[in-house]
Chain A
Amino acid sequence: MVRPHRWRIFITLASYIFYAAWDWRFALLLAGSTIINQGFAVAMHRTSDQQRRTALLVATVVVNLGILAYFKYWNFFADSGQAVLGNLGFEVPSLLVHTVLPVGISFFTFMALSYVIDIYRGDQKPTTFAKFTVFLSFFPHLVAGPIVRPAELVPQFEPPPDPRRIDTTRAFALIAGGLFKKVVIATALADFVDPVFGAPNQYSSLVVLIAIYAYAIQIYADFSGYTDMAIGIALLLGFKLPQNFDRPYSSASLREFWRRWHMTLSRWLRDYLYIPLGGNRKGRTRTYINIMLTMLLGGLWHGASWTFVIWGALNGLGLVVDHWWVSRRSERGGREPATSGPRRWGMIFLTFNFVCLAWVFFRQDSLGGATNLLSHLFTNWGQPSPQITIGVILAIAALMVTQFTPPSVGQRLRGLFSGFSALGQGACLGVVLMVINLLGPYGVAPFIYFQF
């Protein structure tokens, strides 16, 4: 059995080398965030003075969000401010700075914040500096999540995982499935989506429509593919990370969608933003305002752009309508939401199309680009659409089928695979790797969520 402290040193070093491979300065930033947040956490735990604890919490939030804001939002606000002042007749020198966004900064900042806030709330005690370092830098989740809570990961460090009891089946299934989603599906669809979103006026309305659906599948395959691999790799090391996607496009309402899409961000926003704002405890109007605020900030979390704000606003508005509709039905003694049948399929169709509409704003660089794309949904019908190939249709269909496949099917297959010897499992994986390599391109684009 590996001694815990040696294991922690090894995994910390490995994680920092992994992270510094992008840019060594990023590693300094991560180390700085670790030291500062652990400092705040320990100081907070040591004092019983509530005022001091609150002051420390405010300082933690300001420092973390300040660093995040500098890297992610400075140029956005400097640019917008300059434009507003310029319109008012004030000449303001450009305050734009050229910074490279450190990979994963949003993810580890949110994890650090949840650690200190949980300590403030008394839900968590500070862990040792060594364990907190591993928690924050653990390489599988470091660059694009899932956003792990301290209570989920830190207890797994002591005692360290038993190397004789690894769920290799689930780990291999997640890694192979994630690789397939990213390398084959997401990349194939990116080749179709990128030109259409870049110049929609060049394509027929049918191509634009299919490209919008294709982007919904692309971003799902890309992001869930990454997190599946991250969870699978952590499992091979003996650690369980939380699930991040649960067949989101089979959702029959927007509320259900957000319980199934980027689940760890949704619950972070719920626990550290929506509930502290008052959640649904302060009346209907405040609930709707809280939902809108949460979704707007969730949109801004993705980046400093008005397109993300609109994306957040659309989702917020959709959730408000969803809440209003459900409460209105329950007040009138209406039927429970359908769990099957044509009504549920209708709701799934509606939800999926609404989500796809919002993705247009998420994907495009400007509001003009988004509205231009949407306008071309109506202007070019009847034109030939040679870009819609069998490959594109198959990629979309394949991912959509997985959304409606009961989990028991996958479990039965994994049960079968689980009984194989190492030779049998290795042979299966070897063939899967060959198929992925064959169907994928030479060279794969970076993950979409690395930019957040």
Chain B
Amino acid sequence: MTENSDSQANRLRPVGHAMLAVIIALVLSSFLDARALHKSAVNQPAGTGRDLAMAATGALQGVSNFTQITQIRQGIANVVGLGDKDTINTKVIIPIKAPAPPIVPTKLAKPTKPVVPVKEVFSPQKKMKLYFGGDSLMGTVGLAMEQIGPRTGVMTVEPADFHISTGLNRPDAFNWFSHLTEMLKVEDPDVVSLMFGGNDADAYMSGLPENAKQSEHFGDAVWKQEYRRRVGGMMDLATQKPGRLVIWMGEPQMEESALNEKIIKLNEVYKSEAAKRPGRVIYLDLYSLFSPNGAKYSDTITVGGIKKVVRAPDGVHITMEGGAVVSGEVLKLLARQYDLRNFTPASLSLTG
């Protein structure tokens, strides 16, 4: 059957018919999708656009709820297992009480010698399980680690759990607090590596505690207090299980100076919150790694005499090669922290 015969079989209509059909389709689907549209509006960056979108979709949702038309979508969603898709979850669930500091097992080598902490052993028989989660910057790091980690023979790496345009500011857009809780339950990793910040360089936060004030400017005292609470909360959440280690990756330098100034403030929070949790959280300084000795932004670094392109052309993201460099640092850190049998970072080629 040819296209022409198809076209001949169809009734040709005036353009007004097409426009009317499109308008009806859009209006009807707007009411059917009212809850989803409202969620999209809520997820927008703070500002007039979001306020207008929320007002419009709020009204749409009101009509849709009143006429029960929204139930059609919800009914289908329930049948296909997507019943929660349109729910807006802004709950910032973090532990009220921080876990107790780890008790490091020790042994007395000889009565006269100092106490030696016993490192936890991981081997081909008892492999370490690693989880990498965060925003888009974590993407290439997690993917590189997925490839490199298993080659050590002593670790398995869960698929990189990165979600583009997410962070800790906006649980309405993506609720990392709920998501991490769920992932830890499912994956139960020994080491959790997290990286956020690229999408948190903004004063607006959703999911604030009741009666809490919204910060007026990024970096002000109100912002700092709430952001610290969230970062520390994520660290405590991940280390609820005794013995689990968190590697919190700081943000690398950004090419755009205005964004970079904010990144420096974010990194201060991550570093100081990690320092409050010795033995449970280690801060990995990617800023210094990619800009050694306070160097200006560059998309390349020299590792072992070889120049590597570590940053993407957008001046923000990390390339796969950069991800491999970070993976190398993670492996070095883990080799210091644990007894990884038959493995030393130097024995592994990161590019093979």
The residues of A with any CB-CB pair to B shorter than 8 Å are: 94, 98, 100, 163-172, 195, 198-199, 201-202, 236, 238, 240, 243, 365, 368, 406-408, 411, 414-415, 418-419, 422-423, 425-435, 437-439, 442-443
Contact = CB atoms under 8 A, between A and B. Distances in A.
A98 B314 CA distance: 10
B156 A430 contact: no
B348 to A, nearest CB: 14
Contacts of A199: 143, 146-147, 150, 157, 159
A419 B9 CA distance: 10
Contacts of A171: 18
Contact of A166 (B1, B15, B313): B15
Given A98-B313, A201-B150, A426-B24, A365 B320 contact: yes
A365 to B, nearest CB: 7
Q: Which 5 A-B pairs have the closest CB atoms?
A: A426-B24, A430-B28, A199-B146, A429-B25, A433-B29
B80 A415 contact: no
A429 B22 contact: yes
Nearest to B165: A443
Contacts of A418: 9-11
A442 B29 CA distance: 16
Interface stretch (B32-40, B112-120, B240-248, B259-267): B32-40
28 contacts: A163-B14, A166-B13, A168-B17, A168-B18, A169-B11, A170-B6, A172-B18, A198-B147, A199-B143, A202-B159, A407-B6, A415-B9, A419-B11, A422-B20, A423-B21, A425-B25, A427-B25, A429-B29, A431-B28, A431-B29, A432-B25, A433-B29, A434-B29, A434-B72, A438-B76, A439-B80, A439-B82, A442-B43
B300 to A, nearest CB: 9
Nearest to B18: A168
A142 to B, nearest CB: 22
Nearest to A203: B159
Interface string B245-289: 000000000000000000000000000000000000000000000
Nearest to A199: B146
Given A202-B150, A426-B20, A427-B28, A435 B76 contact: yes
Given A430-B29, A438-B76, A168 B146 contact: no
Contacts of A240: 3
A428 B80 CA distance: 20
Contact of B32 (A419, A434, A443): A434
A195 B139 CA distance: 11
Contacts of A198: 143, 146-147, 159-160
A243 B3 contact: yes
B82 A438 contact: yes
B48 interface: no
Nearest to A161: B15
Interface of B: 1, 3, 6-7, 9-15, 17-18, 20-29, 32-33, 36, 39-40, 43, 72-73, 76-77, 80, 82, 85, 143, 146-147, 150, 156-157, 159-160, 164-165, 299, 307, 313, 320, 352
B21 A168 contact: yes
Contacts of A243: 3
Contact of A433 (B25, B80, B85): B25
A202 B156 contact: yes
B15 A163 contact: yes
Nearest to B39: A442
A166 B29 contact: no
Nearest to B352: A368
A430 B24 contact: yes
A411 B6 contact: yes
A438 B156 CA distance: 34
A439 B13 CA distance: 31
Contact of A438 (B3, B85, B146): B85
A204 B82 CA distance: 27
Given A168-B10, A408-B1, 4 more contacts: A100-B313, A236-B15, A433-B33, A438-B73
A405 to B, nearest CB: 12
B10 A195 contact: no
A414 B320 contact: no
Given A426-B24, A438-B36, A202 B157 contact: yes
A414 B164 CA distance: 39
A202 B25 CA distance: 44
Contacts of B12: 164-168
A442 B160 CA distance: 19
Contacts of B11: 169, 418-419
Contact of A430 (B15, B26, B85, B313): B26
B18 A236 contact: yes
A23 to B, nearest CB: 12
